[in-house]
């Protein structure tokens, strides 16, 4: 999309409700669900998103979900690049809205937005500040989480709170499903509070820094499942890391070292297991009704879905059609 087309589209766009012009910053699935929900009531004047990165085996460059949604909805969108930013007159925007952008907005941008830059964050701040607020509550076994609308300052998720909304976390919740719920929650939070904020009816409240907790960026190594961990930890990791980095085991298969991604497990009822299986040692695989199973520190588990390195995702039954249990060992 050329700059002329972009700003022509910006000028001709009809907003659903009359609020001040705003710029929306997002790059993630969370941001996509948030934007979809906001669009039920409001339209941003411009969307900024991070440039596409090569992905997949072929390292193809594909549009991110935000760019794709913007094109689908015929909304003006630009990638966050120095040349694009230089071409935008940021003074036309009353405020900005950030939702899973993936980049810290430079503080020199703050002055352009008369009503500030707002952030929709997927946690109940000051809990879970930082890069990993959606996975962390699953990993910790939390029963509730939520979304916060706050005014950005120079810290990381430290600004004053405009509004918050809470939801419960089901016992079997996955990262993908929770991300969708939190995105929709954040979008509704914006829709329900933005007019009151802009009119001055809501005064942002400073966060209680004494209650703050911080999250760290997840790395690939965080997905490693360790045999000394119990079933609850394995289950939480698998559900939290379903998208990235994916939970995995290090194995030897036919004497070759491989990674084995694990997508779903089930705890077996030890009382119902045959005596010979109860004698299986911790860290050893075994078959049960043609499915791949494993004994870990406190449980016997069934591996329901898996993916061998450089192969497609399959069921454990399909896996055992090609490999014997005796050919697979934990490293």
Q: What is the pLDDT of residues 173-192, one digit of tens each?
A: 999 999 999 999 999 999 99
151 and 180 fall within a common domain: yes
User: Does one domain contain both 141 and 11?
Assistant: yes
Which DSSP string do the residues of 74-85 spell out, in sequence order? T--EEE--HHHH
Three-state DSSP class for residue 293: strand
Considering the domain architecture, whether residues 33 and 131 belong to the same structural domain is answered as yes
With a cut of 50, say whether residue 4 has pLDDT above it. Answer: no
**Above pLDDT 70, what percent of the chain?**
92
Number of structural domains found in the chain: 2
| Domain harbouring 80, CATH code | 3.40.50.170
pLDDT digits (tens, 9 = 90+) for 39-79: 999 999 999 999 987 665 655 777 899 999 999 999 999 99
- Residue 126 · residue 160 · CB < 8 Å: no
Q: How confident is the model at residue 10 (pLDDT cuts 50, 70, 90)?
A: very low
Write the pLDDT tens digit of every residue in 156-172: 999 999 999 999 999 99
| Beta-carbon contacts of residue 85 (< 8 Å; ≥ 6 apart) | none
| Domain end among 158, 193, 215 | 215
The answer to whether residues 141 and 13 belong to one domain is: yes
pLDDT, residue 57, reads 60
Query: Does residue 252 sit in the same domain as residue 194?
Result: no
Q: Averaged over 90-113, what is the pLDDT? A: 95
99 and 227 part of one domain: no
Structure confidence at residue 264 (pLDDT):
97
- Same domain (yes/no): 209, 224: no
Residues 191, 267 within the same domain: no
Whether residues 146 and 176 fall in one domain: yes
CA angle 319, 321, 322 (to 5 degrees): 75
| Per-chain mean pLDDT for the chain | 92
| Together in a domain, 24 and 54 | yes
Report the 10 Å Cβ neighbour count for 312: 7
The pTM for the full model equals 0.90
Domain containing 321 equals: 220-330
Same domain, residue pair 8 and 115? yes
For residue 112, pLDDT over 80 is answered with yes
């Amino acid at each position: 999309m050329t700059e002329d087309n972009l700003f022509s589209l910006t000028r001709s766009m009809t907003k659903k409700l009359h609020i001040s012009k705003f710029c929306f910053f997002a790059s993630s699935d969370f941001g996509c669900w948030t934007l979809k929900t906001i669009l039920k009531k409001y339209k941003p004047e411009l969307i900024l998103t991070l440039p596409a990165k090569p992905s997949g085996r072929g390292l193809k460059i594909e549009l991110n979900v935000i760019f794709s949604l913007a094109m689908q909805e015929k909304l003006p969108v630009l990638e966050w690049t120095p040349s694009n930013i230089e071409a935008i007159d940021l003074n036309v925007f009353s405020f900005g809205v950030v939702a899973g952008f993936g980049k810290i907005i430079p503080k020199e941008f703050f002055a352009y937005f008369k009503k500030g830059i707002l952030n929709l964050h997927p946690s109940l701040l000051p809990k879970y500040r930082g890069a990993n607020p959606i996975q962390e509550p699953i990993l910790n076994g939390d029963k509730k989480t939520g979304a916060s609308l706050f005014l950005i300052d120079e810290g990381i998720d430290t600004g004053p709170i405009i509004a918050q909304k809470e939801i419960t976390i089901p016992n079997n919740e996955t990262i993908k499903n929770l991300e969708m719920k939190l995105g929709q929650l954040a979008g509704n939070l914006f829709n329900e509070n933005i007019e009151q904020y802009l009119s001055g009816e809501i005064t942002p409240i400073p966060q209680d820094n004494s209650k703050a907790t911080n999250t760290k960026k997840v790395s690939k190594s965080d997905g490693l499942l360790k045999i000394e961990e119990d079933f609850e930890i394995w289950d939480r990791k698998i559900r939290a890391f379903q998208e990235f980095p994916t939970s995995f085991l290090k194995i030897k298969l036919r004497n070759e070292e491989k990674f084995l991604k694990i997508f779903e497990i089930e705890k077996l009822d030890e009382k119902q297991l045959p005596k010979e299986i109860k004698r299986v040692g911790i860290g050893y695989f075994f078959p049960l009704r043609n499915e791949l199973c494993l004994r870990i520190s406190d449980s016997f588990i069934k591996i329901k879905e898996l993916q061998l390195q450089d192969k497609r995702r399959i069921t454990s039954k399909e896996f055992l059609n090609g490999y014997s249990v005796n050919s697979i060992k934990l490293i």
